Chains A and B, each alone.
Chain A
């Protein structure tokens, strides 16, 4: 029973390139959350998705960032025209439903470095 799978684990992009981060939730989980962890900072909520729907994107920067969770396949966090400030660890979590007492399982994260 695989956990939340994120890939790649490490991603290096030059300024101006696009970064695509993938998250496959645990089997049976239909809720996905993305968080960003900057150096010396706490985890910051970015977006909450269910299959084919964005439920809450209040933590997403207004420009360059987008997320999707298609009917088939992993959830994708896309960052266009990356800048050095985008360098961070990006974590995905999944849960089977939206209840507050449901444990959300985190993946190992993708560490993005913009050079």
Chain B
């Protein structure tokens, strides 16, 4: 059973069409939830870390929120350059404090058409 599930698997938007990506998780205790962006042929690029339910973080057109069971990545008025795969990962509370043992979802592939 997957501990981190992302939906949808793929999302196609028109430029300016806002939407949200979902990340649901099932771990016994959450130490942190991470969002990354991955472009084709490249490594993941860090976006946000969220630690507790109710927390929100923003960066340009992106806003990440966290509840006790899921996280949303809201994209406001996206542009074609926002096209990428967005990865969600969690770190369980029984791990010793490092970002090492992250449990990743399979990602949402976002395409933004002009």
Contact = CB atoms under 8 A, between A and B. Distances in A.
A33 B82 CA distance: 27
A109 B99 CA distance: 18
Contact of A33 (B51, B87, B96, B99): B99
B11 interface: no
A55 B32 contact: no
Given A100-B32, A101-B49, A106 B43 contact: yes
A109 B46 contact: no
What is the interface residue range for chain A against chain B?
20 to 34
Interface residues of B, number: 27
B34 to A, nearest CB: 9
Interface stretch (A11-19, A42-50, A78-86): A42-50
A98 B98 contact: yes
B87 A55 contact: no
A91 interface: yes
Interface of B: 4, 31-32, 36, 41-46, 49, 51, 87, 89, 91, 96-107
